[in-house]
Amino acid sequence: MRPQFKALFLAAAVAGIVLSGHTNAAEPVKSKPKARKIVRPTLDANAPKVGLFEGMKEGTLETKVVPNGAMGGYVIIGNATAEPISVELPESFVTVPTTVLKQFGGGQFGGGGGQFGGGGGQFGGQQGGGGQQNQGGGFGQQGGGGGQFGGGGQFGGGAQQGGGQGFFSIPAEMAVKLPYASACLNHGKPEPTPHSQYSMIPTDSYTQDPVLKELIAMVGTGRLNPQAAQAAVWNRTDNMSWAQLAAKANTRLVGRPTPYFSRAQLLGAQQISAHAAGRARERAKTATATPEKQEESPAAVPTRTQVRSRVR
């Protein structure tokens, strides 16, 4: 072997040893596994309680909405504090495109001005976030209320979870995953997908229409036939007559169009609408006859003021 080739061979061998040693020394960095989301939360009686939207405002709770279409999806609720916290779920809520929420306040929900509009709201029922759909609904049996009235059939909501009365607890720095049932609040708008960016707002921040609020709460129970519930909502939000809803059809490339709603579903929708109107009247009577009373917090459970001082 010529001297110059021998020198090159030795140099290459040394380089190979160095590279091999460097590869063995640099072990791949293992990514930290993501914590599993709790899907069957329980109630910790000693944990301080906070309302969902109050916790979102304070920064003690973080939420992510993942819609699976018009009829529902799931919400991830995370505890951003170093202590367990019990969450009180609302009777209902509305999801809006995050871009719209940022344009009109960035998460400051207000106290019922109906800013995002849906039957009495400031921006009217056409507010869809650049062509995107809004959803109204709730957490089914996990929520803090909701009636037992059904339009025929069961839908969404999941099994009974939490400790009852709309409360459940989240351990420190962990999150729960809750399904929700919903309906479209804007006829003709595209349905949301799991990739859509949506945020939760209180129903009162979306609409001041008492009947629509009752409809949204009823949809959120997960006990209504979804098609009947959707027809009832569009009858209210978009002023679609029952004749217009009956004429709505699914078109096909091949074959005749099929009705979007069956006769039975439209009859159920009329019953749902009548029931929602009755609930709104009863709620108005109760509010007028009975002065609001502040519920005293149990001695064993810290108050919301104490919650704020702990998490800051």
Domain boundaries, the chain: 38-103+132-141+166-287
Average pLDDT of the residues in 83-93? 95
Q: What is the pLDDT of residues 130-157, one digit of tens each?
A: 457 788 778 875 543 333 333 322 222 2
Nearest one of 99, 104, 128 to 115, comparing CA atoms: 104
What is the per-residue pLDDT for 102?
Answer: 65
Nearest one of 53, 107, 47 to 81, comparing CA atoms: 47
The pLDDT-based confidence of 288 (bands split at 50, 70, 90) is: confident
Helix (H, G, I), strand (E, B) or coil at 124: coil
What is the per-residue pLDDT for 91?
Answer: 93
For 84, the token pair is 């367990």
Q: What is the pLDDT of residues 181-221, one digit of tens each?
A: 999 999 999 989 999 999 999 999 999 999 999 999 999 99
Q: What is the pLDDT of residues 94-132, one digit of tens each?
A: 999 988 766 655 544 443 334 444 444 443 333 333 457
90 HSE (CA, 13 A, CB side) = 23
Rounded to the nearest integer, the mean pLDDT of the chain is: 75
Please check the confidence at residue 228 and state whether its pLDDT lies above 80: yes
The pLDDT-based confidence of 46 (bands split at 50, 70, 90) is: very high
Q: pTM here?
A: 0.71
Nearest one of 216, 41, 245 to 119, comparing CA atoms: 216
70 alpha carbon, distance to own chain's centre: 12
Question: How far is Cα 63 from Cα 202, in angstroms, rounded to an integer?
Answer: 13
Q: In sequence order, what are the residues at sequence separation of 6 or more whose Cβ sits closer than 8 angstroms to the Cβ of residue 117?
A: 123, 124, 125, 126, 127, 206, 207
- The order of strands in the sheet holding 49-51 is 49-51, 85-88, 167-170
The pLDDT-based confidence of 19 (bands split at 50, 70, 90) is: very low
The pLDDT-based confidence of 309 (bands split at 50, 70, 90) is: very low
